[in-house]
Amino acid sequence: MLDITNVYKSFNIGTPVQKDALNGVNLHLDKGDFVTVIGGNGAGKSTMLNAIAGVFSVEKGNIKIDGHDVTREQEFKRAKYIGRVFQDPLKGTAGDMWIEENLALALRRGKRRSFSWGISSKEREMFVELLKGLDLGLESRLSAKVGLLSGGQRQALTLLMATIKEPKLLLLDEHTAALDPKTAKKVLDMTDEIISRSHLTTLMITHNMKDAIKYGNRLIMMDGGKIIYDVSGEEKKNLHVSDLLLKFEQASGGEFANDRMMLAK
């Protein structure tokens, strides 16, 4: 479903502050893989997801989604394959629009602008069912402005919007990091449920090592713009946080440095 081959990406090339963020990344994901991504600050995790989404072009290498070579495709063109949720709850939704308008927008993604804005009763029924599944009481608030929702409610809605069309690839960049611990757990469990229900191929960056072990069928660790550790199946399930720290030290020759990761419970 995803093939990344030998991808390099640098910022500020040729200046004293040049940063080589991706240094030959290779990654192959099978359909239905749910991969958690961890690593120190500046390891290249977000850059890898941004490279896949086409936020910028890469200097070298090749990116394929479900067999389509998207390496030279612009962000809006490959958006049809990808659902994304970021850390900032304000990013994925339109705050001055209603809940149902946001969902309709997500449903019409990739369609012509001239497409009718009317929401059919069938669509409304579908939205109610989806919102019921979140168990946040949003199903009775279809015409509430999204800007009035809490961060957790808004992130849950963003998740619905990102997955409503069953994307070939779901990219989550610390999407629960800005939420309080209880809400974060709820949104994370919701994420897990949606992913397994639709067998979505997913990359989820998290700063919480326990979550990285608990969720998904595979875990990758990044450092210095490379994938330095890749573990799946039973071996992943049996990992402990201490194993991850040891692996990091062995593979990188240094201590694991990620302020948020070290503080996460």
Ligand X SMILES: Nc1ncnc2c1ncn2[C@@H]1O[C@H](COP(=O)(O)OP(=O)(O)OP(=O)(O)O)[C@@H](O)[C@H]1O
In terms of Cα–Cα distance, which of 216, 207, 200, 217 is closest to 244?
207
Report the nearest approach of Mg ion to the CB of residue 42 (Å): 8
Contact region with Mg ion (CB under 5 A), list: 1-9, 42-50, 107-115, 177-185: 42-50
Q: Helix, strand or coil for residue 256? A: coil
* Under rule CB under 6 A, residue 117 binds ligand X: no
**Residue of 36, 46, 102, 208 interacting with ligand X (CB under 6 A):** 46
* Under rule CB under 6 A, residue 36 binds ligand X: no
11 makes contact, choosing from ligand X, Mg ion, none, with CB < 5 to 8 Å by partner type, with ligand X
Please return the burial class of 30, using the count of CB atoms within 10 Å of its CB with bins 0-12, 13-18 and 19+.
Answer: exposed
The Cα 29–Cα 13 span in angstroms is: 30
Count of C-beta atoms within a 10 Å radius of residue 11 = 12
155 makes contact, choosing from Mg ion, ligand X, none, with CB < 5 to 8 Å by partner type, with none
Sole residue written with tokens 């946040």? 136
Report the nearest approach of ligand X to the CB of residue 59 (Å): 13
Contact region with ligand X (CB under 6 A), list: 45-53, 117-125, 176-184, 237-245: 45-53
* Under rule CB under 6 A, residue 21 binds ligand X: yes
* Under rule CB under 6 A, residue 179 binds ligand X: no
* Under rule CB under 6 A, residue 47 binds ligand X: yes
The Cα 60–Cα 50 span in angstroms is: 15
Beta-bridge partners for 20:
10
Beta-bridge partners for 222:
39, 227
47 makes contact, choosing from ligand X, Mg ion, none, with CB < 5 to 8 Å by partner type, with ligand X
Token representation of residue 107:
């449903």
Report the nearest approach of Mg ion to the CB of residue 51 (Å): 13
* Under rule CB under 5 A, residue 46 binds Mg ion: yes
The Cα 62–Cα 136 span in angstroms is: 41
Run of H or E including 21: strand 19-29
Q: Which of residues 196-215 bind ligand X (CB under 6 A)?
A: none
**Interface residues toward ligand X, by CB under 6 A:** 11-12, 19, 21, 39, 41-47, 258
The residue ranges that bind Mg ion (CB under 5 A) are: 45-46
